[in-house]
Amino acid sequence: MMKNKISIFLITLLALSFGQYDYNLEDLNSSSPDYQENVGTSYFSGKVTLHYFGHYN
Amino acid sequence: MPIQLLGVGKDSHMSALGNWVNNNDAPVCADSFPYATWSDWDASQRDLFILDHEGNLVYHENISSGIPSNIESLVLGLVDQIPDCDSSLMCGEAITCCDGLLYPTTCCAENCDTAIGECNAECEDGEFDNSDPCNPMECYNGEWVQIVIDCAEQMGVPCEGGLYMPPPEGVCCSTCVQFGDSNGDGGLNVLDVVSIVSFVLNGTYDSISDINQDGTVNILDVVSLVSLILG
């Protein structure tokens, strides 16, 4: 319980430090190493990140 | 490579996720109605955003007409800006000398600290100077630190049943050798008897072999030693 609270605090802290360009959404790609994790800019802290916004119909 | 590609779609279109990912391993997310992430990022269909390692936006373009040719050099340039250090490292607070420079923690530059000065480089850490075995020195933080040696003889500890013998070269403290241990191997046995007999026959005086301390090494010392060995 305590561990979860600390994780939420750290994620919030990271999200705040990364400002506007962040999100916290579940990875739906089952081929991804981060499948079912909540990812975003701060999740890949320290890396250069490329975000493609789009959708298929 | 410290580069991560992510896709952000809309949950209303995720039935076509297979087309999106096409067996690649990039994370793909679905923003839910009313698409707050799309709004926050001011994103449109086929927009590409590039953020540096600190999360700063450095590029935002719509790539419906294709990926610009300068993207690769832009991304590689951003990768070059990533420092080799990790500022989140937990380090002990101690002035430490690394590569001739002083740092405030034991991590030196690995936690992104900048040097606070130059080391007084008299020596390299870990270096050892035993030229005077009673005053050996070890290099710590670029300076020689003297190691204190306490010897039993100098501290007044008696050598019961034996004599203090001068230390060999490179050793500071004398050794307490038991009477009769003529070969100095730390035990009394038949080899010591052989040594003492040899001294008797040669007329050699050896203070350790002079078990009864009468000033000569003779048959009485041999008898005493045999008696000591047999208990």
**ipTM of the assembly?**
0.73
Q: Which of B3, B16, B37 sits opposite A56 (nearest CB)?
A: B16
| Nearest Cα to Cα of residue B228 among B160, B178, B169 | B178
Residue of B nearest to A46 (CA): B53
| Residue A10 tokens, joined | 């750290």
Residues of A in contact with B48 (CB under 8 A): 50-53
| Residue B163 tokens, joined | 């004599």
**Helix (H), strand (E) at residue A9:** helix A2-18
Testing the interface with B: which of A20, A50, A56, A57 to mutate, by most B Cβ within 10 A? A50
d(CA A30, CA B27): 9
Distance from CA of B148 to the nearest CA of A (A): 48
Contact A41, B49 (CB under 8 A): no
> Residue ranges of the domains in chain B?
7-80, 96-146, 162-230
**B162-230 maps to CATH 1.10.1330.10:** yes
| Residue B26 tokens, joined | 């990039």
**What is the dihedral angle through the alpha carbons of B205, B208, B212, B214, rounded to the nearest 10 degrees?**
30
Asked whether the beta carbons of residue A53 and residue B29 sit closer than 8 angstroms, the reply is no
d(CA B34, CA B178): 92
d(CA B149, CA B137): 11
pLDDT in tens, A8-23: 544 444 444 455 799 9
pLDDT in tens, B140-156: 777 788 888 888 888 88
Distance from CA of B68 to the nearest CA of A (A): 14
A3 has a pLDDT exceeding 70? no
Contact B144, B131 (CB under 8 A): no
Residues of A in contact with B2 (CB under 8 A): 46-48
The pTM (predicted TM-score) of the whole model is: 0.51
